[in-house]
Every structure is written in C-alpha cells, then in structure tokens.
Amino acid sequence: MFDNVNYLNELQIADRMTHNSPYPIQTLEISPSSLLRVDMLAPVSYEGEGFIQLANFPRLSAEAASVNPEDGFDCQIFSWHQDDRPLMGVKIRGRMAIACQRCLDPLGLELEIHKTYVFLKTEGEADEFPLDRDDEEAMVASTHFNLLEAIEDEILLELPHAPKHPVGQCQLRPLEADMEKPNPFKVLKNLKK
Ligand SMILES: [Zn+2]
C-alpha cells in the first residue's frame, strides 16, 4: 500500500531543504531533559534523533505489562518555518508490551507514528487553524514546548483499547475459552426462530 503519511513527511523535508531556511539548523538532543522545554520561538530550525526509554514516559509505563531497558521509542524530529510559522515533524518508532485483555500475559506492540505540529501565536489562532490532515495538530508556540509530553500523548493515542493476542497465541485457559464460545443450545434456539 502507498504510504501516504510517510511520503508527505519526506516532501516536507525536501521542501525545507530546497527553500533555504532563513534560520540556522540546530541539533536538538533527544533526551528526556532537553525535550521537556523546547524553545519554539527561537530563530533556529531543529533536527535530532535518538532513543527514549519507556521508563521516561510515566503514563505509558503505567499502561505497560513490563518496563524493560530495551523498550522505548526512536524519535526523529525536524522543524522548519512556513509563512513565518514554526512547524515540527516528529517520527516515533518503537515497541512496548501491554497486557492482553483476555489472558493478561504480555502482548508486544510495534508502533510507528508520524506527526506534524503547526505552531500558532495564540490559543484562538490554534483553535481556528484549518488542518489539512489527520496527522497535523495546531499548538501554541512558546519558549517551553513540552515535546516529551507531546510524544507520550501521541503514543498513548495509538495504544489499542482492548489489546488481545491473536487467536492461537493467547494463553487463555480452556475453561474460560469455552465460556466465550456461544452456547450451542442458544444457537439452536435462534435457528428455529
Ligand atoms: Zn492473551
């Protein structure tokens, strides 16, 4: 299938490269402390890439079946300016384990998320800003944008509401499995109707 979102993000990178950004490119360290406060009003274009462990996301850790050092997310960010507004593209890719809602054993999730933040001057402007795509979000530009929290929000939104192992891989005990099957007498009764 044609990866539309990815294609658009590649276009944005190409756009930034061809329309010489008026601002110097600055490397943004991808670490929990540096992502807590990102100055989106600074006259720079950011870029950065790095791995953030699951343990650094408290709300995600609470949802996780276990928190291992290898669990976490590769984050790639890049910002640019368009019509005098800062924009930031974020690519998140990684894994974590959550509990299967049927057997409660860990269920591994692989996630890949693409998001573009458009920064406006005021809350009102952000509310009214027409967004073209689902992966865009309007934010209020500040000197202390909490990118760590924004990334955690994106991942939380991607988590399935009732995660379950595929049939055949679930550790559900046979007795409970039987209870989930339709009662044969009920099925027969319905057929007679
Ligand atoms: Zn299961």
pLDDT reading at 4 higher than 50: no
Local structure of residue 104 (DSSP, 8 states): -
Query: Can you give the pTM of this predicted structure?
Result: 0.79
pLDDT of residue 134: 83
- Please tell me the distance between residue 143's alpha carbon and the centre of ligand 1 in angstroms: 45
For residue 69, CA distances in Å to 51, 105, 176, 178 come to 11, 19, 34, 38
Rounded distance between C-alpha atoms, residue 57 and residue 78, angstroms: 21
Rounded distance between C-alpha atoms, residue 193 and residue 182, angstroms: 17
- Please tell me the distance between residue 76's alpha carbon and the centre of ligand 1 in angstroms: 32
pLDDT reading at 7 higher than 60: no
- Please tell me the distance between residue 53's alpha carbon and the centre of ligand 1 in angstroms: 25
pLDDT of residue 12: 59
- Please tell me the distance between residue 105's alpha carbon and the centre of ligand 1 in angstroms: 6
